[in-house]
Amino acid sequence: MASQFGVLFRVATWGESHGGGVGAVVDGCPPRIALTPEDIQRELDRRRPGQSEIVTPRDEKDRCEILSGVFEGKTLGTPISIFVKNEDARPEAYREMQSAYRPSHADFTYEAKYGIRNWQGGGRASARETIGRVAAGAIAKKVLAEAVPALEIVAYVKSVHHLEAVIDVETVESQAVEQSIVRCPDPKASDLMIELIKTMRKEGNSVGGVIECVVRNVPVGLGEPVFDKLEADLAKAMLSLPATKGFEIGSGFAGSRMTGSEHNDLFEMREGRVTTKTNYSGGIQGGITNGEPIVFRVAFKPTATILRPQQTVDVTGSSTELMARGRHDPCVLPRAVPMVEAMALLVLCDHWLRQKAAS
Amino acid sequence: MASQFGVLFRVATWGESHGGGVGAVVDGCPPRIALTPEDIQRELDRRRPGQSEIVTPRDEKDRCEILSGVFEGKTLGTPISIFVKNEDARPEAYREMQSAYRPSHADFTYEAKYGIRNWQGGGRASARETIGRVAAGAIAKKVLAEAVPALEIVAYVKSVHHLEAVIDVETVESQAVEQSIVRCPDPKASDLMIELIKTMRKEGNSVGGVIECVVRNVPVGLGEPVFDKLEADLAKAMLSLPATKGFEIGSGFAGSRMTGSEHNDLFEMREGRVTTKTNYSGGIQGGITNGEPIVFRVAFKPTATILRPQQTVDVTGSSTELMARGRHDPCVLPRAVPMVEAMALLVLCDHWLRQKAAS
Amino acid sequence: MASQFGVLFRVATWGESHGGGVGAVVDGCPPRIALTPEDIQRELDRRRPGQSEIVTPRDEKDRCEILSGVFEGKTLGTPISIFVKNEDARPEAYREMQSAYRPSHADFTYEAKYGIRNWQGGGRASARETIGRVAAGAIAKKVLAEAVPALEIVAYVKSVHHLEAVIDVETVESQAVEQSIVRCPDPKASDLMIELIKTMRKEGNSVGGVIECVVRNVPVGLGEPVFDKLEADLAKAMLSLPATKGFEIGSGFAGSRMTGSEHNDLFEMREGRVTTKTNYSGGIQGGITNGEPIVFRVAFKPTATILRPQQTVDVTGSSTELMARGRHDPCVLPRAVPMVEAMALLVLCDHWLRQKAAS
Amino acid sequence: MASQFGVLFRVATWGESHGGGVGAVVDGCPPRIALTPEDIQRELDRRRPGQSEIVTPRDEKDRCEILSGVFEGKTLGTPISIFVKNEDARPEAYREMQSAYRPSHADFTYEAKYGIRNWQGGGRASARETIGRVAAGAIAKKVLAEAVPALEIVAYVKSVHHLEAVIDVETVESQAVEQSIVRCPDPKASDLMIELIKTMRKEGNSVGGVIECVVRNVPVGLGEPVFDKLEADLAKAMLSLPATKGFEIGSGFAGSRMTGSEHNDLFEMREGRVTTKTNYSGGIQGGITNGEPIVFRVAFKPTATILRPQQTVDVTGSSTELMARGRHDPCVLPRAVPMVEAMALLVLCDHWLRQKAAS
């Protein structure tokens, strides 16, 4: 179950960064949804390496194949199997990892857990694993587009290191996000972020940041009251992404420094609909959507791979120094934006199906 | 499934705040674990209302009964059913809620989701639901105490509103936490927090804050590599608690403002064990424990119930004003400390069993 | 998970035969379904001991309480907790079981699995565990009665030992079943069966038999294509009942002795609906209902408890002789009829909800 | 979930008979198990078409690829993805199925359920889907071979139509099974069965039969007490196979015609081990293995595809006649033997892992 996600819209991903390839099987997709490889490829292209000058130059085309579950351009209701070959794998770049643990990577913990690991790359801990998630998210997007046509999801880079963008969650559009190679729709902040990331690359260093995501026109009633609160499933989804360190919804940590009279979202009628004056709740109350925009943020740590010598230990327990040689991102955030959207879409699509059954 | 949690150590909670009672069924508890009602009662008493002058005076003894799964003081390996009666329910205090939605409560979303709700209290959204979690957490604690005797878990109030405590995660002890009625082991901060909460109560207002939790002497290898990363399951567990708005592990959001060379936790040998010089990872790498302390923080919003008139709408869609009369907490954090520990214990116990199977 | 059943309509049962009581928690029941304790009690009364002269005289009223999930006579969509106290427990009747294993009971295997067991009765292996199932089945019945009003389910005793009844699956009604204390709607066979069971009781012996169940007016499209075929879930449901040894659907084992040209159910239109001339398929094709009656049979072994001295071994591994003294059924079938119906209803209700989500 | 099986050793299969291929993803396989493509191919070859003169001549090599989860010949503990291309697909043979429903196939029910189907073959209802199961079963076999080296599993054709073999469950060996192209280890019965199947083929007809399976040297304690009884999971596993109509364990339906004094398996010590004199229980008591051989039987109906004109209806609801042209098996049993073994191995491996966690 370690590699499965969702209750009714269920995704199983598989594959190591260095091996035959990576993929996903989506079980529970409703039938008769229009779906082409291009629908999936479009999202994979936003995730793939080599897409701009500030991401890893690993040259993976990440071409996806749909092996099952689709017939004459429509989903069958049966499992959809997606396959992406690994092409530009260079295991020799990882030779040192066979014997030494890279700091803040998963080499040591995988070895400790399994007593074995594929040292020719990051294995399942590699960002390549997220290809299956992004592909599955693209399918969820198509399902929701038919079920809830008005629904809009936009994720973007809110901050890189100390650089924070100013963005209006009510109006921000994907198009503006995609015009920035760092995927920050505030042009001024975007320029500064790109500059910072380039500097970091030159210095062999890396930076972290925060991705914000807004979902507008969400149906009311999604989410379950206790353990499967919508924000709980979103939190799990986000913290399951590589390099994430935090999640907050609505007012988040800042909300912990407010009083009740400031924080409560007063109800009012607007266009015949129950709405709230403010949205500190982030669109979810008691675990269930209230129709206001869902707004959440995800903290990403700086990429662990840096091109500097670092102290570590090897598999025999001796001290050693390690100098990474792989091709990596000085900042994961630009490529993480489609991952955040994909995971949010998986959660929403799953809960939309669950609510269909429950209501 | 909405009310079930865990894969192998599986908890199902049930019960509304106003009804026959609340409870939990724990399925998957290993056999032959010593367990008495007192083991559970001890934790419930830390959660129960009326325990101090800064929490709600609702007078619930919250006496638990073990109805099954235990024989002659030992678990049988079969489901353990825990039952706590509701006693001091005063549905009349909630009369207004029948027709109007309390701001930032779940009245509106439950109505939207189900087309029906038990308006005589918070229903499943009430903090009473967490009784089942705390009871189940007490059982998980007993299991882990036999399996991993050195394991220590301590949660405490790290901040209330703008008041932040200074606490050493390496050495903080439960005893120090329990000496403070606000459950903050920094005596100076504790006093200020108590004063602030009393002021808030007088003003009919409320405050939020942050709970921090540390788990020491965790075995290496717990957690699954992809979707069920340990931090992902912790995030879900915490965001499933009422009133939570954020979760962060290790460096958290602050980590997003660091560089890789600052953030990486260099490996070194200490007492024959692979350890890290720093612990920005928060004890988890690639979703799997590395043996360092797990450190995470949970943001709680200010209690939604405030004793002030508030604007809202009623079930017919008309504007109205609502003035709460129930007995509530001006700050949920003191009683939320055992909830945070309980949820963390459920996650750890579940993953400990999973790792037993996997290794 | 050992004690949980269903995907969306999910039942968790708990309780030993000798302990605080037994119960069930039903999670995933749709909201706004009319439900009273009487709806549940009616089915429990069909299952309870002491109901006639041919079943065990253990005097359990099996009065159920609904502790949660229902408000003003309607389901809330939240977990429904059902509780039935154990009253006429006589643990002293089981004293010998503390040290010796009853043949063809679960004493030995529980001891082998758990290293502990509640020897004061059958524990979870007791037929009392099925109270939770029958209660949950009664709830499923209410859900289906609103969703698919035409649906009819009738189970009955098809055979006891060598006595086989003649029953028309197209027309048999519950009323006719309930008129017979052995729950066989063929009056002639019923009389012979009752006589045989009385003889068995006198001889301190027991008999088995077969229960047949028919479900009419099933919607087309229920069941999933691969592992969760409707007949697969029915088979699991039935083989999870105590004392069952076999399951067959439609033509069953007899179908294995037919040729394709005899066995194929030819399609034809009837009243504007696709139907089949014959129903060897038993209402399910490719795991999915085709609208024809579902017909299946379940084989029950003779009750293991017989009032005769039997050779066995004790917990120290020595040979011994055991003579049962408990109050037991010479034939479980009359009381198993509502269990079979309950389990079938759980499967149907779960798949009906699943199909709602999927279509 | 429709296409997923197992709790800890979890298999997801995917693929239609006519499409890119079929496959399986196995999640939860323990690490460091030796595994090569040949281990899987060996079992697939027993299942594949064209292997003998009495099975379908469809020419599929069914060559499997392991795409992930294995490194240097050992499992990694991560998902194992198996892929088998479809090669000899001839969709034109299925042209008629586009508009008409084949009797006793799943064409009508898939259409009714999904409103769409891949009519170029049996889709997910095709026996090709079982490739993923057999591949996963081969992996389970390797896991169990390391964990329980003495465990032996042997399935074989017990009967075809009215022809029943005489086989000793205590001694039958796989080698004897494989020497017969019909996979019946009783040479005399085997010859008669082969002759009968050839006659059926000539007549364009088909026959069913019964497969028996014995598992010897099973550890005691496998299986869960209530819903996940080992026989319940075996029943589900078997009834999820295409063309199955019944399942029985131990005494099965014949046991329903016995008395308790005949049927009870008396305990006795043998070689220091608790054993039973007889084995009417079929190796399982109270859902849990007792160490005696597990013995069960599965009924298969005659193949639905027969080469004779048959009355049916088309998608517009008009009567029509259909004459199959595809390449099919006159009797599925020879190829179903490895499927039965595979499904049994999946159940046993899953429960073995579950028991590891639970004990």
How confident is the model over A239-266, as pLDDT tens digits? 999 999 999 999 999 999 999 999 999 9
Average confidence (pLDDT) over D265-275: 96
pLDDT recorded at residue C93? 74
Average confidence (pLDDT) over D146-174: 98
Instruction: Count CB pairs under 8 A between chains A and B.
Output: 380
Q: Which residue reads 């199961």 in tokens?
A: D133
* Contact call for B358 and D358, based on CB within 8 A: no
Given a cut of 90, whether residue D97 has pLDDT beyond it is no
Q: Which residues of D touch C285 (CB under 8 A)?
A: 104-106, 108-109
Q: Which residues of A touch B282 (CB under 8 A)?
A: 245
**Average per-residue pLDDT for chain A:** 95
**Average per-residue pLDDT for chain D:** 95
B5, B232, B288: residue with CB nearest A240: B232
Given a cut of 80, whether residue A327 has pLDDT beyond it is no
B22, B25, B71: residue with CB nearest C116: B71
Q: Which residues of A touch C356 (CB under 8 A)?
A: 356-357
Sign of torsion over alpha carbons D187, D191, D196, D197: positive
pLDDT recorded at residue C249? 98
- Pairing mode, strands D244-249 and D309-313: unpaired
In angstroms, the separation between the Cα of residue B357 and the nearest Cα of chain A is: 12
Chain B: list its partners (3+ Cβ pairs within 8 Å).
Answer: A, C, D
Residues 6+ positions from B87 with CB-CB distance below 8 Å: B59, B60, B61
pLDDT recorded at residue A1? 56
Mutual angle of helices C130-147 and C333-358, in 10-degree steps: 50
- Long-range CB contacts (within 8 A, 24+) of D166-169: D167/D212, D169/D212, D169/D214, D169/D293, D169/D295
Given a cut of 80, whether residue C203 has pLDDT beyond it is yes
CA end-to-end distance (rounded Å), chain D: 28
D225, D258, D310: residue with CB nearest C266: D310
How confident is the model over C14-58, as pLDDT tens digits? 999 888 899 999 999 999 999 999 999 999 999 999 899 999 888
Both tokens of C246, joined, read: 């076999």
| Nearest C-alpha neighbor of A337 from the set A115, A217, A222, A176 | A176
* Contact call for A103 and B159, based on CB within 8 A: no
In eight-state DSSP terms, residue B230 is H
How many percent of chain C have pLDDT more than 70? 99
pLDDT band with cut points at 50, 70 and 90 for residue A343: very high
- A156 strand-pairing partners: A212
Q: Which residues of C touch A356 (CB under 8 A)?
A: 356-357
The angle subtended at Cα B228 by Cα B224 and Cα B229, nearest 5°, is: 65
For residues A62 and A84, the answer to whether their CB atoms sit within 8 Å is yes
How confident is the model over D213-255, as pLDDT tens digits? 999 999 999 999 999 999 999 999 999 999 999 999 999 999 9
CA dist B138 and B344 (Å) reads 11
Q: How many residues does chain A have?
A: 359
C66, C74, C123: residue with CB nearest B78: C123
- Alpha carbon D249 to its chain centroid, in Å, reads 16
Both tokens of C64, joined, read: 């159920």
SS (H, E, C) D139-199: HHHHHHHHHCCCCEEEEEEEEECCEECCCCCCCCCHHHHHCCCCCCCCHHHHHHHHHHHHH
Within 10 angstroms of residue B131's Cβ, the number of other Cβ atoms is 31
CA dist A185 and A155 (Å) reads 10
Residues from B in contact with D at Cβ < 8 Å: 8, 28, 30-31, 77-78, 225, 353-354, 356-359
Q: What is the ipTM of this complex?
A: 0.98
In eight-state DSSP terms, residue C126 is S
Residues 6+ positions from C119 with CB-CB distance below 8 Å: C94, C97, C98, C107
Torsion, Cα of D171, D175, D177, D183 (10° steps) = 170
Amino acid identity of residue A156, one-letter, is Y
pLDDT recorded at residue A326? 66
Of A15-24, A205-214, A251-260, the range with the lowest mean pLDDT is A15-24
Q: Which residues of C touch A359 (CB under 8 A)?
A: 30-31
C27, C83, C118: residue with CB nearest B3: C27
pLDDT recorded at residue D88? 74
| Nearest C-alpha neighbor of C4 from the set D225, B30, B228 | D225
| Nearest C-alpha neighbor of D325 from the set D310, D338, D335, D313 | D310
Q: Which residues of B touch A282 (CB under 8 A)?
A: 245
Q: Which residues of D touch A83 (CB under 8 A)?
A: 67, 83
- Pairing mode, strands C152-160 and D152-160: unpaired
Given a cut of 80, whether residue A26 has pLDDT beyond it is yes
C267 against D87, higher pLDDT = C267
CA dist D214 and D230 (Å) reads 14
* Contact call for B106 and A359, based on CB within 8 A: no
In eight-state DSSP terms, residue D218 is P
A31, A78, A354: residue with CB nearest C357: A354
Chain A: list its partners (3+ Cβ pairs within 8 Å).
Answer: B, C, D
Q: What is the DSSP code string of D233-279?
A: HHHHHHHTSTTEEEEEETTHHHHTTSBHHHH---EEEETTEEEESS-
* Contact call for A357 and C8, based on CB within 8 A: yes
D78, D353, D354: residue with CB nearest B225: D78
Q: Which residues of D touch C257 (CB under 8 A)?
A: 159, 161-162, 208
Within 10 angstroms of residue A173's Cβ, the number of other Cβ atoms is 12
B31, B225, B357: residue with CB nearest D357: B357
Residues from A in contact with C at Cβ < 8 Å: 8, 28, 30-31, 77-78, 225, 353-354, 356-359
pTM exceeds 0.95, yes or no: yes
Q: Which residues of B touch A309 (CB under 8 A)?
A: none
Q: What is the CA radius of gyration of chain C?
A: 21
pLDDT recorded at residue C327? 72
Given a cut of 70, whether residue C1 has pLDDT beyond it is no
Which chain C residue has the Cα nearest residue B24?
A: C25
* Contact call for C313 and D268, based on CB within 8 A: yes
Task: Determine phi and psi for C189, rounding to 5 degrees.
Answer: -60, -40
CA end-to-end distance (rounded Å), chain B: 28
- Alpha carbon A88 to its chain centroid, in Å, reads 23
pLDDT recorded at residue D24? 98
Instruction: Count CB pairs under 8 A between chains B and C.
Output: 152
pLDDT recorded at residue B326? 66
Given a cut of 60, whether residue D287 has pLDDT beyond it is yes
B103, B235, B304: residue with CB nearest A235: B235
Q: What is the DSSP code string of C310-347?
A: EEEEBTTS-EEEEE--S---S-SHHHHHHHHHHHHHHH
pLDDT recorded at residue D104? 95
How many percent of chain A have pLDDT more than 90? 87
pLDDT recorded at residue D122? 85
Average confidence (pLDDT) over D299-314: 95
Q: What is the CA radius of gyration of chain D?
A: 21
Average confidence (pLDDT) over C126-146: 97
In angstroms, the separation between the Cα of residue B69 and the nearest Cα of chain C is: 7
Q: CA-CA distances (angstroms) from residue B320 to B136, B204, B205? A: 41, 20, 20
- Pairing mode, strands A21-27 and A80-85: antiparallel
Q: Which residues of D touch A22 (CB under 8 A)?
A: 68
Given a cut of 70, whether residue D294 has pLDDT beyond it is yes
Average confidence (pLDDT) over D179-191: 98
* Contact call for A27 and D3, based on CB within 8 A: yes
* Contact call for D118 and A71, based on CB within 8 A: yes
Q: Which residue stretches of chain B have pLDDT < 70?
A: 1, 89, 326
* Contact call for B23 and C114, based on CB within 8 A: no
**Average per-residue pLDDT for chain C:** 95
pLDDT recorded at residue D176? 98
Which chain B residue has the Cα nearest residue D77?
A: B358
How many percent of chain A have pLDDT more than 70? 99
